[in-house]
Amino acid sequence: AMGMEPMGELPAEPQPPAPEMDDMFNGQGDIGYLDIPTFLRKQAD
């Protein structure tokens, strides 16, 4: 599933979040695939 790949094996270009990722992030579909780590770091603060 999209978003389950290990870090370091990200696709060369940003990809839109899969529907399950939109649900996980409360439908915030503007969060790009490559922006998810930054989003998680902000949530961890």
pLDDT recorded at residue 1:
53
pLDDT recorded at residue 41:
74
pTM of structure: 0.19
Q: Which of 24, 27, 41 has its CA nearest to residue 3?
A: 24
Question: CA 44, CA 42: separation in Å to the nearest integer?
Answer: 5
| Residue 45 CA neighbour count, 13 Å, CB half | 5
pLDDT band at 42 (very low <50, low <70, confident <90, very high): confident
Cβ atoms 29, 17 nearer than 8 A:
yes
Burial of 17 (0-12, 13-18, 19+ CB in 10 A): buried
Sketch the domain layout of the chain as residue ranges.
16-45
Write the pLDDT tens digit of every residue in 21-36.
555 555 555 555 556 6
Write the pLDDT tens digit of every residue in 5-21.
566 666 566 666 666 65
Cβ atoms 39, 25 nearer than 8 A:
yes
